[in-house]
Amino acid sequence: MEDPAEQEAYWRGLHDQQPFADKTRPYEDYAHAYRTGYESLFKYAGKKYEDIEDDIALNYEKSRPESALPWDSAQPAVRSVWDRLGGVITPRDVDRGARVWI
C-alpha cells in the first residue's frame, strides 16, 4: 500500500503540470480529489474504474470539504491517481498526464 503522505507530496508537486488543473485554483482545492483517488483504489481493489465510478463520485460528494471542487471538476484528478497507482499509465502512454515516477 502506498504511503498517503508520499502520495500527497507527489500530487502536490506535479499538480500544476496536470492537463486538468485549473491554474486559477490552488492544489488545496484538488487535494480531496487526489485523496479520494488514492483511497478508492484500495477500497475497490480489483475492480474497473468504470464499474465503480458512480460509487466513488457519491463517496466524494458525501465527504467533500466546502472548498473542494464539485465532482465534475474533480473527476479527472481522481482518475489520474487511479490510473497511476493501478498501473494503467505506461511509459508509452505519452498523453496521459505526468509520469516522472517511471
pLDDT at 1: 53
From first to last of the 102 residues of the chain, give the pLDDT tens digit. 568 899 999 999 999 999 999 999 999 999 999 999 999 988 998 899 999 999 999 999 999 988 889 999 999 999 999 998 887 754 444 445 544 444
pLDDT at 100: 47
CA-wise closest residue to 74 among 43, 17, 30, 14: 30
Helix intervals (H) in the chain: 4-14, 27-43, 49-63, 71-86
AA identity, residue 19: P
pLDDT at 8: 93
3-state secondary structure (DSSP) of residue 22: coil
